[in-house]
Structure formats: structure tokens, C-alpha cells
Amino acid sequence: MAIELKDIENIAHLARLRLDAAEKAEALGSINNILSMIDEMRALDTSGVEPLAHAFEASQRLREDVVTETDQRAALLALAPNAAEGLFLVPKVLE
């Protein structure tokens, strides 16, 4: 299932990646090579096989519903590229 340039543009948008024309062309070629390798899977009949999401098929462990985290707001905000008054700053989203 080869993909086209418009598919690359759609995938890049979904993944929130800005690609220039050269990068799109490179992605088209290399991703089609990867997909043709992946397509080897199609040769195998897997009807009736249950998908395996996780090696142990373990169920999610639950813990007591109590607060375990300490307040790290200042330390975490200090890592932000732009923060003020306890908030992460981004470009204006509402006109």
C-alpha cells in the first residue's frame, strides 16, 4: 500500500510536524520503503489469532486512591520555555 505526497502531508499534520518540500519528498521515499518491508506481514494468514498488546497480558495494577505526589509546581514550571504567574505561556489562542 504505497502512499502519496498528500498522505505525507496529512500524516505530518496529524503528528504536528512542519516539513518543507525536500523533507516531504524524502519522507515519501523512505516511508514507502518502510511500508513495503512492513507489508511482508500480509503474506501470513493470521485469522483467528488474538492480538498481543503486551508480553505478559497483565492487567493494570491499581493503587489506593490517596495523594502520593508532593507539590513540584515551581520546579516543573522552571523547565518551561515560557511561564509566568504559575502558568505555561503559549501564543494567543482566542482573538
Partner 1 sequence: MADLLDQGIASLAKSLARKEFSSVELTGAYLSRIAAHNPALNAYVTVTAEQALAQAAAADTARTKGTAGPWAGVPFAHKDIFCTHGVRTACGSRMLDNFIAPYDATVVERMRDAGLVMLGKTNMDEFAMGSSNETSWYGPVKNPWNTDLVPGGSSGGSAAAVAAHLCPAATATDTGGSIRQPASFCGLTGIKPTYGRVSRWGMIAFASSLDQAGVLTRSAEDAAILLQTMAGFDPRDSTSVDMPVPDYLAGLGQSLRGLRIGIPKQHFAQGLNPEVEQLIRSALAEFERQGATLKEVSLDNSHLSVAAYYVIAPAEASANLSRYDGVRYGYRCDKPVDLEDLYKRSRAEGFGAEVKRRIMVGTYALSAGFYDAYYIKAQKIRRLIKNDFDRAFAEVDVIMGPTSPHTAFPLGSKSKDKDPVAMYLEDIYTIAVNLAGLPGLSIPAGLLNGLPIGLQIVGPNFSEDRLLNVAHQFQLATDWHTRTPGVAAASRGDR
What residues make contact with partner 1 under the rule CB under 8 A?
A: 1, 3, 7-8, 11-12, 14-19, 23, 26-27, 29-31, 33-35, 37-42, 44, 46, 49-56, 58, 60-61, 63, 72, 75-76, 79-82, 88, 90-93
24 in Cβ contact with 9 (< 8 Å): yes
Rank residues 67 and 82 by Cβ distance to partner 1 and give the closer one. Answer: 82
How near is the Cβ of 84 to partner 1 at its closest, in Å?
13
Q: 19 with 8: CB under 8 angstroms?
A: yes
What is the closest distance, in whole angstroms, from the C-beta atom of residue 81 to partner 1 in the complex? 4
Find out whether 39 and 1 touch, Cβ atoms under 8 Å: yes
Tell me the closest approach of the beta carbon of residue 33 to partner 1, in angstroms.
5
- To partner 1, the closest distance from the beta carbon of 79 in angstroms equals 4
DSSP 15: T
For partner 1, give the closer residue by CB, 56 or 85. Answer: 56
Q: What's the 3-state SS for 47-81?
A: CCCCCCCCCCCCCCCCCCCCCCCCCCHHHHHCCCC
